Amino acid sequence: MSFLSKTLVIISILQLIHSGYSTYEFNQVIKQLNLKKTLTISTSASNYNTFASSLPMDIQYEALFALFLFTIGIFFSFETVSYIPLSSKKVVQTAEYLQPIDMNRASILDNLQEIDPYGGINNTPMLTDLLQKRREYREWAKKNGLGDDISDDKDQVVKIVNGTSDSKQFDKALDVATKAVTERDNIKNNSTKTKRGNKK
């Protein structure tokens, strides 16, 4: 803590203690005044409560100002943290990061790991071309023998559905789609059976 912050904290604590003691004295005076009134004139309890609850404004302001000074003193007590990085023996302070940083210095770890620092902007996963991804998957499935007919049937379905709204052709497209789904299910079942057989 610097000298200024220590001074502000000490002054604020003294002010808080003084405002607390002033409140205590004020309450004692109110009690004595009410005690004298009860001996001379019968007063109601409601009058006592309303009279005792009205704390003078100077005591309230003193307490609030003490809290404000305490907050400012704590704020000034923050110091810049310094540390020694693993890469060099030069002492680095955190205030350095508030200055402008070169982009190549900021992304040096990304460059060493061959990570694109602008990946979220360049890749744009929200704008992925799903048709291109499906074509890539079909090509991969054909290479690995996972159902060449399915991709052809899907292409036929897309052509038929996009081409016309005729009910006969729609029924034909529906038949092709159900055939493709059943073939896909058969391929999945066969692959799970072979995996189970390999595990045994």
pLDDT one-digit tens code per residue, 70-113: 999 988 888 766 666 666 677 666 555 455 555 666 566 666 56
Predicted confidence (pLDDT) at residue 198 exceeds the cutoff of 80: no
Domain boundaries, the chain: 3-77, 82-125, 129-199
Cα 51 to Cα 32: distance, rounded to the nearest angstrom: 12
Residues composing the chain:
200
Q: Are 63 and 19 in contact (CB under 8 A)?
A: yes
Q: What pTM does this model have?
A: 0.38
Query: What confidence score (pLDDT) does residue 123 get?
Result: 65
% of residues, the chain, pLDDT over 90: 18
* Confidence grade of residue 50 (pLDDT, cut at 50, 70, 90): very low
Q: Are 149 and 143 in contact (CB under 8 A)?
A: no
pLDDT tens per residue, range 15-30: 999 999 999 999 888 8
**pLDDT: which is higher, 62 or 100:** 62
Q: How many CB atoms lie within 10 A of CB 74?
A: 14
